[in-house]
Amino acid sequence: MFSFVAPYRISCHIRSSFSKLGLEDKEVLIRDRIFTSTRHPHQLYSSSAPTRIIVRPARTVNMMSDLPDNLPHSLSIQEPRAADTPFNNKAADVILRTSDKVDFYVYKAILSLASPVFESMFSLPQPASASDASLGDGPTASHPVIDVSEDSRTMDSVLHFCYPVRRPSMTKLVDVGPVLLAAFKYEMNVVLAVARIALEQCIDQDTLGAFALALRCELYDVCSKAAKQFAQHPFLSLDSKELDHIKADRYRQLLKYHDSFARDSNFVVPPEAWSNRCENVLLDFS
């Protein structure tokens, strides 16, 4: 438990005409004179207003126990909440808890079919059972909880592609990117195939962003399409925040491709050349 002690509390008892002042005037006078004391301590108050300064040690304040009960919602601890339909069915046997504290009630069988990563995870011994007293009596007491790094919006889209429900539409790179990265991370080939098509459709929208995302997910044919589109634009006319997530040597190779394409529009680089396993393919062309 953390605590702090304020070094001193200064109480100013101002006599004479001070008592006749209004509340706001008193606050202004005290603030003005305390400010003066920090610059000229020997001139704390003028002789025209005799005062007496009482300095007392302040009480110790416990930063946790002294907090009010009605804290703003933004300062309180966020409690997990259930996701929207169909991922709020308590009949499911596992919970995926996202980074923004949303619980997705899902079935191990469906996740195992969609992702070999989850299949391997579920094959391991489970840490607790429904009868374990440590699970408590809350709504998640009978469900194992798996924390994932994705937020609820991303996980909702990913799971919609895994379940036999209506699939969401992804037309912007800001929506495609997180789903694509999650599908690649969990090796969800069905989701990856859908996200890949959506990524190709976003090349005109954000050419460098599509290139960077394709590179991170090892979609090298999409890299080639995006690189060719990039080469048709002036060198510094395009930018994307997704470039922050790729290595400098990959971006350098993209620039070299841009330079070569500018000199010969028939210049072609095979898709596998963008792979980290073929570093010299692009570095050697001129």
How do the domains of the chain map onto residue ranges? Answer: 3-64, 80-202, 203-286
Kindly report the pTM of this predicted structure.
Answer: 0.64
Summarize pLDDT for 14-30 with one digit per residue, the tens: 444 555 556 666 555 55
Do residues 209 and 229 make contact, with C-beta atoms less than 8 angstroms apart?
no
Rounded CA separation 119/6 (Å): 56
Residue 109 φ then ψ, to 5°: -60, -40
Per the DSSP assignment, residues forming a β-bridge with 102 are 81
Summarize pLDDT for 132-153 with one digit per residue, the tens: 433 344 555 578 999 999 999 9
Rounded CA separation 129/131 (Å): 5
Per CATH, which fold does 80-202 belong to? Answer: Potassium Channel Kv1.1; Chain A (3.30.710)
Summarize pLDDT for 176-226 with one digit per residue, the tens: 999 999 999 999 999 999 999 999 999 999 999 999 999 999 999 999 899
